[in-house]
Amino acid sequence: MANRIPRVAVREQDPAIRATNFEEVCYGYNNEEARLEASRCLGCKNPRCVNSCPVHINIPAFIHEVAEGNLAAAASIISADSSLPSVCGRVCPQETQCEGSCVLGIKSEPVAIGKLERFVGDWAIENASTLPLPEITPNGHRVAIIGSGPAGLACASDLARAGYDVTIFEALHAVGGVLVYGIPEFRLPKERIVAREVEAVKRLGVKIETDVIVGRTMTIDQLLDEQGFDAVFVGSGAGLPRFMGIDGENLNGVCSANEFLTRANLMHAYDPDYDTPIYAGKRAVVVGGGNVAMDAVRTARRLGAEAIIVYRRSEAELPARAEEVHHAKQEGIEFRMLTNPVRINGDENGWVKGIECIEMELGEPDESGRRSPVAKEGSNFNIDCDVVIMALGTSPNPLIKTTTKGLETNRRGCIVADEEGHTTREGVFAGGDAVTGAATVILAMGAGRKAAKAIDEYLKSK
């Protein structure tokens, strides 16, 4: 029986070797492995995996095509719901979404849906020239998209398919949002994967203008009133880092994970051919437990530092993807759980020399449902280090809000928008991290797609 086959293990770079390079950790399945893994799927009539996928990809249908060796058909099924399968197959938290609900997971291991999606996405990239483009009938309406992250790209794809003339305006010189400036090369290759999935979006007719900061170069009002756009989607993300507000955060050697990762990824600081400075020190402490913290600590490790995670809750509450935590441990990262920094100590020259922490214990659940950490009085101790990287979450940049009439934000600085993406300003829609605060790639894509539908309905009703 198909479900007696054990989950097919995926090949990966040896941990000791990969901790010294920036090449991709996971090699993915080859054709034979993918077909064997696909044959494990039971093709459920009421597939729980689909209900748990935020964009509702027809998972059993695409997996059936993989098992049959029909990869063009598999790619076409996925592309109906996702424009970034190679990205999502690599970075989605499958264990809490599709794979977390797979019926096979009840008694054994779930189908490796993420690795199969990645396999199909990579195949589609390699065979892009052979895949048919959808027939598009232009409808004469122009839509501006602010930000080229997953929310903006997903919104742009759907609108282009529906016949809209779409232009993405991106502040940075590179396209992809967090996919290019945040998530490291060893998890998500930029040229081989991100750039080529962006190319597929461009093939639908989407135009992308980089180095345009909406709110500085031009405003949303100008896009609507002077430049002839009929609607605007704001997918500007949440790129503003938070700090703890403790003593010593201004010392040399302290930075946000956002800055550290941007230097490494977008500005290629790890590559000797680039001049971008980056300082990982001899012993780097990364504060936080999400994907951003895992990426920062593994980057510091690869730059030669002894690297430590400090997290105030226990391992069970770590918000990072399980695979990233597993990989970080394999690479020799030290985890200090139930530990919270209270002060960063410096030397006489203003450089970090250590971080004073306090032990924590878990108390009653807070509004997030997780047990809240409570400090154990008198348990302070010091960790020697010369670098501290803060990975405590991010908020949206206020620029769009402060330069757009009638656009409301909430107390966290997030744009107020309903489920479909309507904001408080007519003709302006929003989604992704700009609305929810820092979340996930697939949720941002889902929000972009919903907004595309709402924009289509809005413009058809006008």
Ligand X SMILES: Cc1cc2nc3c(=O)[nH]c(=O)nc-3n(C[C@H](O)[C@H](O)[C@H](O)COP(=O)(O)OP(=O)(O)OC[C@H]3O[C@@H](n4cnc5c(N)ncnc54)[C@H](O)[C@@H]3O)c2cc1C
Binding mask 161-180 for ligand X (x = CB under 6 A): --------xxxx----xx--
Token digits for 335?
């985890």
Does residue 289 interact with ligand X by CB under 6 A? no
Please name the helix (run of DSSP H) or strand (run of DSSP E) that holds residue 208, with its range, or none: strand 207-209
Which partner from the list ligand X, ligand SF4, none does 113 bind, CB cut-off 5 to 8 Å by kind?
ligand SF4
Report the residue from 182, 241, 346, 446 that binds ligand X according to the rule CB under 6 A: 182
CB of 240 to ligand X, least distance (A): 10
19 within 8 A of 332, measured Cβ to Cβ: yes
C-beta neighbour count of 190 within 10 angstroms: 19
CB of 232 to ligand X, least distance (A): 11
What is the DSSP pairing of strand 371-375 with strand 352-365? antiparallel
Residue 381 phi/psi, 5° resolution?
A: -150, 165
> What separation in angstroms does the CA of 371 have from each of 360, 366, 395?
11, 6, 23
Token digits for 286?
């990364």
Does residue 102 interact with ligand SF4 by CB under 6 A? yes
Report the residue from 75, 113, 310, 328 that binds ligand SF4 according to the rule CB under 6 A: 113
Q: Measuring CA to CA, which residue among 365, 311, 355, 274 is closest to residue 22?
A: 274
Residue 259, exposed/middle/buried by CB under 10 A (0-12, 13-18, 19+)?
middle
Cα 60 to Cα 44: distance, rounded to the nearest angstrom: 7
254 within 8 A of 352, measured Cβ to Cβ: yes
Report the residue from 24, 25, 35, 47 that binds ligand SF4 according to the rule CB under 6 A: 47
CB of 306 to ligand X, least distance (A): 21
- Interacting positions 302-331 with ligand X (CB under 6 A): 321
274 within 8 A of 268, measured Cβ to Cβ: yes
Token digits for 278?
């980056």
Residue 155 per-residue DSSP state = H
Report the residue from 10, 12, 15, 48 that binds ligand SF4 according to the rule CB under 6 A: 48
Choose between 44 and 72: whose C-beta lies nearer to ligand SF4. 44
Does residue 439 interact with ligand X by CB under 6 A? yes
- Interacting positions 107-146 with ligand X (CB under 6 A): 146
- Interacting positions 22-41 with ligand SF4 (CB under 6 A): 41
Which partner from the list ligand X, ligand SF4, none does 47 bind, CB cut-off 5 to 8 Å by kind?
ligand SF4
Report the residue from 19, 26, 57, 59 that binds ligand SF4 according to the rule CB under 6 A: 59
Token digits for 78?
């996925």
Strands, sheet with 207-209, edge to edge from the N-terminal-most edge strand: 207-209, 165-169, 142-146, 231-234, 428-430
- Interacting positions 227-266 with ligand X (CB under 6 A): 235-237, 239, 261
Cα 427 to Cα 433: distance, rounded to the nearest angstrom: 20
Which partner from the list ligand X, ligand SF4, none does 102 bind, CB cut-off 5 to 8 Å by kind?
ligand SF4
Does residue 53 interact with ligand SF4 by CB under 6 A? no
Binding mask 389-408 for ligand X (x = CB under 6 A): --------x-xx--------
Choose between 47 and 184: whose C-beta lies nearer to ligand SF4. 47
The residue ranges that bind ligand X (CB under 6 A) are: 91-92, 146-152, 169-172, 177-178, 182-183, 212-215, 235-237, 239, 261, 291-292, 295, 321, 397, 399-400, 432-434, 438-442, 444
